[in-house]
Amino acid sequence: MSVHLARDSYGKHRVRVSKVRRPREAPANQERHEFVEVSVDVELEGDFAASFTAGDNRLVIATDTCKNTVYALAKDHDVATIESFGLAIAEHFLERYDHVQLCRVSLTETVWDRLGESLHGFVARDRATPTAVVTLERDAESEVVAGVAKLLIAKTTESGFSDFHRDEYRTLPDVDDRILATELTAQWLYRGEGAGSGGDFLGNRRAVVDALLTAFLDHYSRSVQETLYRMGSAALEACPEADEITLTMPNKHHLLAKLVPEGTTNDNEVFVVTDEPFGYISGTIKR
Ligand SMILES: O=c1[nH]c(=O)c2[nH]c(=O)[nH]c2[nH]1
């Protein structure tokens, strides 16, 4: 039997690093700190086939070395955005190692919000997580996919679902007033110029998330599908540098509860919240 290595990559995942930005103008407990935390996945492709097929490790940059590199770069970089930090990491691997052909860096940020007015106290936000996937390949256009995950949003009216396909399997009635709830994931793509280290990733991120949330609310939703398309279109309008955006919007169902005693009315007030099964709607909108 003849086989060959069709594709390979390797690297280190979940390199978790935090950074305190300190002005160093006063004692630690009297100066205002900034605190960021990022989980980084580094993947390399290049001249590594021999390590798979012949046990030849000479060109292998150990995954442990990949991990050390992330910490080393975190010292020199301000980690102002995960997009720019990801670019710095990917650029390092391509510049330092001629035999690396492609470096993909995937990052997830744990956002620490300032605790009140404290100089150095923070509380973690476990929602609306910023994400980024940076892919740099030799002699190819750079690509940065910025995103947000776990953005749980709901509206308690201005949503319905009716006039959908009728056949013998359908039991769901038309409804013109329901809860629309979803855990939004959005990923928008920058290519070429827009994917450079000079990109305004933070400003664009704010504009995209703002546009998504505004568009979630600004219309009567006839379906998750329609709302997804309107949200994605608004995001592209708000961020000219992004070429396309992919949204996934699982339908977090809130079903009208049947109340006892028999005959009690439920005027759209009490709902059964179900995790499974759930509707899953996704779409990519391009310019
Ligand atoms: O917005 C919706 N889209 C669907 O495709 C669908 N299917 C369903 O059962 N409820 C809904 N709601």
pLDDT digits (tens, 9 = 90+) for 238-274: 999 999 999 999 999 999 999 999 999 999 999 999 9
Residue 161, annotated ligand binder? yes
What the chain holds in terms of domains, given with CATH numbers, is 1-138 (3.10.270.10), 141-287 (3.10.270.10)
pLDDT score for 124? 97
- Asked if 133 and 104 touch (Cβ cutoff 8 Å), the reply is yes
| Complex-level ipTM | 0.99
Nearest to 280 by CA among 247, 255, 254: 247
pLDDT at 192 > cutoff 90: no
Q: Which atom of ligand 1 is nearest to the CA of 226?
A: 1
Whether the pTM exceeds 0.90: the reply is yes
Burial of 111 (0-12, 13-18, 19+ CB in 10 A): middle
Question: Which of 162, 171, 224, 229 for a ligand 1 pocket mutation test, highest count of atoms within 8 Å of Cβ?
Answer: 224
Strand, helix or coil at 44? Answer: strand
* Strand pairing report for 244-251 and 254-256: unpaired
> What is the average pLDDT score of the chain?
97
The CA 222 to ligand 1 mean position distance, Å, reads 9
Query: Could you tell me the pLDDT band of residue 198, with boundaries at 50, 70 and 90?
Result: confident
The arithmetic mean of pLDDT across residues 154-171, rounded, is: 98
Residue with CA closest to ligand 1 atom 1: 223
The arithmetic mean of pLDDT across residues 27-54, rounded, is: 97
pLDDT digits (tens, 9 = 90+) for 210-222: 999 999 999 999 9
- Dihedral of CA 286/284/126/182: which sign? positive
- Asked if 151 and 185 touch (Cβ cutoff 8 Å), the reply is yes
pLDDT digits (tens, 9 = 90+) for 72-97: 999 999 999 999 999 999 999 999 99
| H runs (alpha helix) in the chain | 49-53, 63-76, 82-96, 201-217, 224-238
